[in-house]
Structure 1
Amino acid sequence: LFNHNIEVVTVNPYSVKRNKENRDNTQSKSDKKDALVIADMVKNGYYSFVRHTPESFEKLRVLMSNRDVVVKRLVSSINQLNRWVDIVFPELRQVFKDVKAKGAIATLRLFPMPTKLRFMKPDEVVAGWKTVMKRQPGLKKAQLLVQVAKRSIGSLQALDAYKFHLEQLLEEYDLAVKQLERVESQVTDVLTKIPYAKKLLLIKGISEISLAGILGEAGDLSGFSHGNSLLRHAGLHLAEASSGKWKGQIVISKRGRSRLRRFLYLATMSLVMNNPEFKAIHSHNVKVKKTKKMKSIMKLIGKLARIFIGMARRNEAYCPDKLQSLFPQAAKK
């Protein structure tokens, strides 16, 4: 259609469902009725234009969607590893607090069963670690590992089956880690091809992953007229239901891209923790204006959207002085 110079618009399916009763006051649905409802909505202007997405932004969207799947599998494999440790070798956490730490993973690969580990010497444990790790835990860790293995209360039955299960879990964990590294490497390469991405990454607190998630879901930010347009695209604009004297609660509409909302929120939280300007404004909102923390975060998401759109449209660098000039009291604090 684009190639034939035909203007393309899209109508929200949810809006079609809500408007179908306006024609005949019934909840009936058919292909003919849907076509009439859609035609009426287009005639009345209840549509949005289809925005062309450049190839780099399309790549980011596909890669970040792929990354979400890989991260889910990685988290699932870690949870199953924790369950396995709880059953077979719960005392392992006395030596390694995190099961996915390098030392813990190396221990699970080499000598996961406490029944065999209790008869080993600490020197043998260290020697085993050296075969799979460049920087391995010391002799004290090995001594502690042998001690906790001797008094382990882990399961003593079906150990062969548990060992086979652990091998499969570690294979799945290794595959997910490798795939995550490859996906994130691809994301980094694509970001280098977007002209203003480098300037956005210079903002302290903005990571490559959060920026890739925002650009992948939103597309080319220079195509938005204002930050509020980006918020509406994400479903972060406000919605109110009031009637007469009754005033309903003002809430976020959530009619938009959920993944874009998530990455905007995560980016803002990172800025509040790491960026001095955003940290000062958030502190000013909470302590001086007595604003609730979540409400302050939502306001800062709007500010981040406006900063991103302004930088993308004008292709300019981030200027902390502009933000401080708008909130001099907050900057001082």
Structure 2
Amino acid sequence: MKDLASIKGRIQNWLDRFFPEFLDVFRDWEGKAALFSLQHFPLPSDVQTMNAEQIVEAWRQEIKRSVGIQKATRLLEAAKTSIGLTTGLSMARKELQLLIQQYLLVLSQIDELMEQLEEFVSQIPGSAHMLTIPGVGLATVAGFLSEVGDLQRYDHPRQIQKLAGLSLKENSSGKRQGRTRITKRGRPRLRALLYRSVMILVAKIPEFKALHAHFTKRSVNPLHKKQSLIALCCKLIRILFVLGRKQIPYDPAKLQGALRQVQLQEVA
């Protein structure tokens, strides 16, 4: 993953130097039409040797989804008004070709690794049920299980919470009562994995978004955003633990029901 990020950064740097207007035409250089363009006519001077119809025809050689004449026209206009470097273009073209080859190679290696990972994880009891949580993917489940091991070893999800360093402690001395924080005495990779997963869940999954909003906006003891995310990490541990141990699919109604119950208790 670090290699991929490095290559993508170098390609972005190349665009900044030689064709900074390229991403005004394409939102993402990794899209099919954009990547094809970088492979076949990457420089503004390359684009200017063509007209809009020729660009569209070139795209259609490899891209099934129709790419319109308007985008081709915009690319041509961007090339004509580009402020990119105009020296060393031969080496620049070769540099980009090499970077794209490396990019495609790493992508293929990641795809192969993910296939092997999927086959391995599918053999672990309960893993398929853990994958029924929306927003939780193969890499998350595999990372969780690699850090935690056999779920049957644990009697309660709090043991995994402690393993992740998410147990609470109070920083107090003498008469001073300090703030309550997590211990961080555990596996940092597991803690980071859970935190990243929860960030995605809070952004995309309605029931987690609602729970986060409740934690941060409730009238009694509202949590700071980071505190809420930590609480949701613990919630995710409990959900993964139950699904993996009992081998049952994720049920969003149960999480929503638990939230409603808490809200009713607060009103009462």
- Taking a change above 3 Å as real, the CA distance of residues 278 and 150 of structure 1, as seen in their structure-2 partners, is closer
CA contact (8 A) 1:117 1:149 kept: yes
1-side partners of 2:176 and 2:141: how far apart?
41
Cα distance, 1:320 vs structure 2: 4.2
Could you report, residue by residue, the CA deviation over 1:298-322 in whole angstroms, capped at 9, with x for unpaired residues? 1121122123223333334444454
Q: CA deviation at 1:193?
A: 1.0
Quick one: structure 1 residues 228 and 143, their matched pair in 2 at CA, closer, same or farther if it must change by over 3 Å? same
Q: Aligned runs of 1:227-266 on 2, under 5 Å?
A: 227-266=157-196
Q: Distance in 2 between matches of 1:320 and 1:108?
A: 43
With over 3 angstroms needed to count, the CA separation of the structure-2 counterparts of 1:236 and 1:195, relative to structure 1, is same
> Any residues of structure 2 matched to 1:262-281 within 5 Å, and which?
262-281=192-211
Unmatched tracts of structure 1, length 5 or more: 1-70
The answer (yes or no) to whether the contact 2:171–2:181 under 8 Å persists in 1 is no
Is it true that 1:88 corresponds to 2:26 in the alignment?
no
Aligned pair partner of 1:186 in 109, 116, 119:
116
- Which TM-score applies when normalising by structure 2? 0.88
In the other structure, the counterpart of 1:11 is: none
Does the aligned pair in 2 maintain the 1:78–1:100 contact within 8 Å? Answer: no
Work out the percentage of aligned pairs sharing the same amino acid. 37
* Alignment pair present for 1:222 and 2:148: no
Return 103-112 or 312-321, whichever deviates more: 312-321
Kept after mapping to 2: 8 A contact 1:283/1:330: no
* Cα pair distance change 1:189/1:140, threshold 3 Å: same
Match of 2:217 among 273, 277, 287: 287
Partner of 1:181, secondary structure, is: helix
For residue 313 of structure 1, the aligned residue among 239, 245, 264 is: 245
Provide the C-alpha distance between the structure 1 equivalents of 2:75 and 2:58, rounded to a whole number of angstroms: 13
- TM-score in terms of structure 1 length: 0.72
**2:48 touches 2:80 (CA, 8 Å); kept in 1?**
yes
The one-character-per-residue Cα deviations of 1:214-273 (angstroms, maximum 9, x if unpaired) are 112211222122112112212222344422123343332323222211221122233334
Q: Is the alpha carbon distance of 1:238 and 1:113 closer, same or farther for their aligned partners in structure 2, counting shifts above 3 Å?
A: same
Alpha-carbon separation, structure 2, partners of 1:136 and 1:330? 51
The question of 1:207 aligning with 2:137 is answered yes
Q: Is the 8 A contact 2:165 2:187 kept in 1?
A: yes
Cα separation, 2, equivalents of 1:317 and 1:302: 19
**Structure 1 equivalent of residue 229 of structure 2:** 297
Name 1:123's counterpart in structure 2: 53
The counterpart of 2:43, out of the listed 113, 121, 124, is 113
Residues 91-146 of structure 1, C-alpha deviations (whole Å, 9 max, x = no match): 11221122222222111100112123213111221222223323252211112211
Gaps of 5+ in 2: none
